[in-house]
Structure 1
Amino acid sequence: MRIRNKIAAAMAAAVAFAMLGSGVVPTDAVAGQDESYQRGPDPTMASIEAERGPFAVTEISVARGNGFGGGTLHFPNDTSQGTFGAVAVAPGFGESELFLRWFGPRLASQGFVVLTVETNSVFDFPSARADQLLAALKFMVEQSRAKDRIDTSRLAVMGISMGGGGTLEAAVRNPALKAAIPIVPWNIGGGYAGIRTPTLVIAGEGDIIAPTPIHAKAFYDSLAPGLNKGYVEIAGGGHIAPALPNVTTAKYSISWLKRFVDNDTRYEQFLCPIPKDPKTSAFLGNCPHS
């Protein structure tokens, strides 16, 4: 059984890589979605709350081009456990990649290849940021120094504010994405019933720039009822707090990525039953399912 699974996974990765090379995103039919890709030791609450995970990480600068404005690539040094999922992260309106660079080592040290993206313009709207998130993923698997470390069938997107709106739009365009995490997302006229990607929306209770009733919560409510989805609202948080280095955003982002990018059920314990976290003013969702 293990040999058959490994052969199937190798064939899936080869087909998915070829499809990405032709500009097509791999579909669930070739994604090996039933296989678990455990990386690292058994998790604990302490391990997902820690500033760094078990993997030592390399960081390198990425130049402007290839459809986005450059950024910083973060990847685990150890490849003895196999390839990793890849995550592209976009900033918000008027923000530099420096604002969200903390996600890079925090996520990469847990076993992901991460590109914190500089946008072509700090004034780009969500649609353009979606384009750039997808371009960043394409660059990661085709050209980056970490390309040989990436499983091309296990890709995810994250973003802050308009980058969060771009995250949702990217998930609409690419249903093969394994996870989407929009943080304090901002967009206009967005309904996301068509998203098929497991989506975790992170909001701030006191957000007045992207008020939760018409942005984060409305976007969450628009997601299909049967979708793997979650909504975390940080108590007392405004528009900026959930995007700054903090344990709450980090630990649930890590758990979501591990569960859906790596299909690692060891992390379900941090998502189900729905946590009663004093750092949150609301926590909604369903228990993860296949």
Structure 2
Amino acid sequence: MHPNPHTEAARRAPGRPASATRRRLAGAAAAIAAVVGLGTLGTPGAHAADNPYERGPAPTESSIEALRGPYAVSETMVSSPAVTGFGGGTVYYPTSTADGTFGAVVIAPGFTATQSSLAWLGPRLASQGFVVFTIDTLTTLDQPDSRGRQMLAALDYLTQRSSVRNRIDGSRLGVMGHSMGGGGTLEAAKSRPSLKAAIPLTPWNTDKTWPEVTTPTLIVGADGDTIAPVLTHAEPFYSTLPSGTDRAYLELNNATHFTPNTSNTTIAKYSISWLKRFIDDDTRYEQFLCPLPRPSLTIEEYRGNCPHHS
């Protein structure tokens, strides 16, 4: 804590001893100054005042790589018969409401897969300050366009009818998905430009061009993907996003199409940073995205626009 300038000045001031009355007045002034000082320390800084959506402490490399963030997480199951337009799922959310509302993300699985294939992302993202809904699709064989519509139906359920709807800021929403769910992520972003972030993970789609997408989009490919090879999926998806859209392409090193199905620090740290930066407009996370991450043991390649537009 910085020294209180008033009490420091009083301590150094020469002169005769203060009278009892003067001491009482000085004590009261010091107490007020201390309370004001504590109040200042206990409230968000100037930047947070500019951005009311910031959640959680200032991030570090270790905090975005951690298995859990600063928030305790609760979860609730949503059964398929209780919803329409998608197949139910699991909602993970920060237990405390002390920080107000949170942005929300729907995550969809790939072809023949269920929500369990991406379950690790639920608590990992929610503990960083998001409401996260990992969903099942109506059938495991649904194609990307159907998955995209189902993700939007899940967002609508989450924000309008779910038991956690009051914890969510309905204007700050994003989508993620794996494989055909990744293709569905692009479909959802194309259909609903109001989305704040999209993260397709080793995405698959027969549509190779996405000039209609204006949502900030991070596409994650894998160098060893033989099911949705980056040359015919992730890379053209990325390169056809408009240059005016905030976009990035992260190609995982020594990875396969199914790398997103198990806990992965590289996917987590850049997904957290992307969601924080664009759903929460939290520029404290810009440092992990710009300048562009360099190739490493886990990153084959990273492309993107810096600085970001939004």
Q: What band does the TM-score fall into relative to the shorter chain?
A: 0.7 to 0.9
| Equivalent in 58, 61, 70 of residue 54 of structure 1 | 70
Task: Note the C-alpha offset of 1:243.
Answer: 3.5
Give 1:289's aligned amino acid. H
Residues 203 and 242, structure 1, Cα contact 8 Å, conserved in 2: no
Residues 70 and 117, structure 1, Cα contact 8 Å, conserved in 2: yes
CA distance in 1: counterparts of 2:63 and 2:295, whole angstroms: 17
Describe the SS at the equivalent of 2:59. coil
Identity %: 54
Q: Answer yes or no: is 1:89 the counterpart of 2:107.
A: yes
Matched length: 257
CA distance in 1: counterparts of 2:130 and 2:189, whole angstroms: 19
Q: How does 1:240-279 map to 2 (within 5 A)?
A: 240-278=258-296, 279=298
CA distance in 1: counterparts of 2:258 and 2:183, whole angstroms: 15
Task: Note the C-alpha offset of 1:270.
Answer: 0.3
Q: Answer yes or no: is 1:149 the counterpart of 2:167.
A: yes
**CA pair 147-221 structure 1, distance change in 2 beyond 3 A:** same
The normalised TM-score by structure 2 is 0.81
CA distance in 1: counterparts of 2:131 and 2:295, whole angstroms: 28
Structure index of larger Rg: 2
Q: Which runs of 5+ in 2 are unaligned?
A: 1-49
Give the corresponding residue for 1:31: none
Q: How does 1:147-226 map to 2 (within 5 A)?
A: 147-226=165-244
CA distance in 2: counterparts of 1:159 and 1:180, whole angstroms: 9
CA distance in 1: counterparts of 2:84 and 2:207, whole angstroms: 29
Q: Answer yes or no: is 1:289 the counterpart of 2:305.
A: no
Structure with the bigger RCO (C-alpha within 8 Å, sep 6+) is 1
User: Which deviates more, 239-248 or 84-93?
Assistant: 239-248
Residues 68 and 128, structure 2, Cα contact 8 Å, conserved in 1: yes
Give 2:66's aligned amino acid. A
Describe the SS at the equivalent of 1:137. helix
The normalised TM-score by structure 1 is 0.87
Describe the SS at the equivalent of 2:188. helix
Residues 118 and 260, structure 2, Cα contact 8 Å, conserved in 1: no
Deviations 1:182-224 (A, max 9, x none): 0000000231111010000001011010010110011000101
Residues 36 and 264, structure 1, Cα contact 8 Å, conserved in 2: no
Deviations 1:34-66 (A, max 9, x none): 845110000000000000000001011111122
Give the corresponding residue for 2:87: 69
User: Which deviates more, 254-263 or 219-228?
Assistant: 219-228
CA distance in 2: counterparts of 1:168 and 1:36, whole angstroms: 28
Give the corresponding residue for 2:123: 105
Give 1:194's aligned amino acid. E
Pairwise CA RMSD: 1.0
